[in-house]
Amino acid sequence: MVRIRLMRSGTKRRPFYKVVVSDSRSPRDGKFIEIVGRYHPMDKENPVTFLDDRIDYWFKNGAQPTRTVSNLLRKKGLLASQKVKAE
């Protein structure tokens, strides 16, 4: 199963995350298929950016977001148009 999830980067106490498409069996920071966005929780002005067309492409091909990514997508308004159930 293909998942859209977060991959942690950064240093101690200064995390940032890449939103990646990966196989659900690969480790959190392991092999991935494509980077489709970024999440910087320390940046208060623009914490989340997505590649909207690539997110739509992966949804159409059956990718499922994790709960955290689905919450981020919902805040950006990208998940409301999709009929995707996060698990």
pLDDT of residue 80: 62
In CATH terms, the fold of domain 2-76 is: S16 Ribosomal Protein; Chain: A; (3.30.1320)
Inter-residue contact 11 to 42 (CB < 8 Å): no
Domain boundaries, the chain: 2-76
pLDDT score, position 30: 87
Instruction: Give the tokens for residue 40.
Output: 């910087």
Note whether 64 and 87 are within 8 A (CB): yes
What does the pLDDT read at residue 21?
96
* Per-residue model confidence as pLDDT tens for the chain (87 residues): 999 999 999 999 999 999 999 999 998 888 899 999 999 999 888 899 999 999 999 999 999 999 999 999 998 888 765 555 555
